[in-house]
Chain A
Amino acid sequence: MILHSRRRVFHGLAFTGLWVIGLGTFTAYPVLASLYYSFCDYSILQRPVWIGVENYRQLLGDDVFWLSLRNTLFFTMLSVPVGCVLSLSLAVLLNCEVRGRAIFRTFFYLPSIVPAVASSMLWLWIFNGEYGVLNQALGPLLRPLGISPPAWLGDPAWAKPALVLMSLWGVGNSVIIYLAGLQDVPRELLESAELDGAGPLRRFWHVTLPLISPVIYFNVVMGMIGAMQVFTQAFIMSGGPDGNPARSTLFYALYLYSTAFYDLRMGYASAMAWVLFILIAGLTWVAGRVAARRVHTSS
Chain B
Amino acid sequence: MSEAGQSRRRRLVLTGASLALGLIAFAGGGCGDRSGGERVRITYWEKWTGAESAAMQAVVDEFNASQDRITVDFVSVSQMDRKVIAATAGGNPPDLAGIWLPYIASFADCGALLPLDEFMRADRAAESPVPDVAQAGSDFLARYVPVYAKMSLHRGRVYGLVTTPSTVALHWNKTLFREAGLDPEKPPRTLAELDEFARRLTRHDPVTGAILQAGFLPQEPGWWLWANPLWFGGSFMDEAGEISVGRDKANVAALRWLRGYTDEYGSDSLQRFTSGFGTFGSPQSAFFNGKVAMVLQGVWMNNYIRQFSPGMDYGVAAWPSVREGDGGGAPFTVAEADMIVIPRGARHPQEAWEFIRYLSSANTGANSREKLRGMETLCYLQEKNSPLREWSPFFSGHHPHPYIALFRALAESPRAQFNPSMGIWQEYMRELNTANEKVRLGAVDPETAYAYVQRRVEASWARHRASLARQQAAASENPSPP
Contacts and interface: CB of A to CB of B under 8 A. Distances in A.
- A and B found bound together: yes
Given A44-B85, A58-B463, A263-B424, A246 B430 contact: no
B333 to A, nearest CB: 25
Nearest to A243: B434
B77 to A, nearest CB: 15
Contacts of B424: 263
B106 A264 contact: yes
B430 A156 contact: no
A261 B80 CA distance: 11
Contacts of A245: 437, 441
Range of interface residues on chain B? 35 or more
B433 A130 contact: no
Contacts of B88: 45
B275 interface: yes
A223 interface: no
A36 to B, nearest CB: 15
A225 interface: no
B443 interface: yes
A234 to B, nearest CB: 15
B470 interface: yes
A130 B111 contact: no
Interface in A47-79: 47, 49, 51, 58, 63-64
A47 B478 contact: yes
Given A246-B443, A264-B85, A129 B470 contact: no
A244 B344 CA distance: 34
B274 interface: yes
A246 B110 contact: no
Contact of A41 (B82, B85, B443, B471): B471
Candidate in B111, B112, B271 with the most chain A CB atoms within 10 angstroms:
B271
A130 B276 CA distance: 5
**Secondary structure of the A contact surface, majority rule:** loop
Contacts of B470: 41, 49, 51
Contacts of A244: 437
Interface string B96-119: 000000000010001110000000
Contacts of A130: 272-273, 275-276
A152 B276 CA distance: 11
B426 interface: yes
Contact of A246 (B86, B89, B441): B441
B268 A246 contact: no
A207 interface: no
Contacts of B89: 44-45
Nearest to A124: B279
A254 B273 CA distance: 27
B404 to A, nearest CB: 31
B435 to A, nearest CB: 9
A45 B106 contact: no
Contacts of B433: 242
A45 B271 contact: no
A262 interface: yes
A297 interface: no
B467 interface: yes
- Chain A interface residue number, banded: 20 to 34
Interface in A9-40: none
A51 B470 CA distance: 10
Contacts of B112: 45
A247 B106 CA distance: 23
Given A41-B471, A49-B474, A58-B463, A258 B430 contact: yes
A46 interface: yes
Contacts of B275: 128-130, 132, 151-154
B434 A129 contact: no
Contacts of B399: none
B8 to A, nearest CB: 13
Contact of A44 (B110, B274, B478): B110
Contacts of B273: 130
A45 B111 contact: yes
B427 interface: yes
B143 interface: no
A91 to B, nearest CB: 35
A131 interface: yes
B247 interface: no
Given A154-B271, A246-B441, A262-B426, A47 B85 contact: no
A41 B467 contact: yes
A152 B272 CA distance: 9
Interface in B63-113: 82, 85-86, 88-89, 106, 110-112
Interface string B251-274: 000000000000000001001111
B189 interface: no
Contact of A261 (B85, B271, B276): B85
Interface string B439-471: 001010000000000001000000100010011
Interface string B407-438: 00000000000000000101100100110011
A40 B82 CA distance: 21
Interface in A167-220: none
A130 to B, nearest CB: 3
Contacts of A63: 456
A131 B273 CA distance: 10
A29 to B, nearest CB: 14
Contacts of A153: 275
A264 B276 contact: no
Interface in A254-268: 258, 261-264
A137 to B, nearest CB: 15
B468 to A, nearest CB: 10
A67 B188 CA distance: 41
Contacts of B82: 261
Contacts of A284: none
Contacts of A44: 85-86, 89, 110
Given A44-B85, A129-B276, A151 B271 contact: yes
A89 interface: no
Contacts of A264: 85, 106, 110
24 contacts: A41-B471, A43-B467, A45-B88, A45-B89, A46-B474, A47-B474, A51-B470, A64-B456, A128-B275, A129-B275, A148-B272, A151-B271, A156-B441, A242-B430, A242-B433, A244-B437, A245-B437, A246-B437, A246-B438, A246-B441, A246-B443, A258-B430, A263-B427, A264-B110
Given A45-B344, A264-B85, 7 more contacts: A45-B110, A45-B112, A129-B272, A246-B438, A263-B426, A263-B427, A264-B110
Interface of A: 41, 43-47, 49, 51, 58, 63-64, 128-132, 148, 151-156, 242, 244-247, 258, 261-264
Please name the 5 residue pairs, one residue from A and one from B, whose CB atoms are nearest each other, closest first: A130-B276, A129-B275, A151-B271, A154-B275, A45-B110
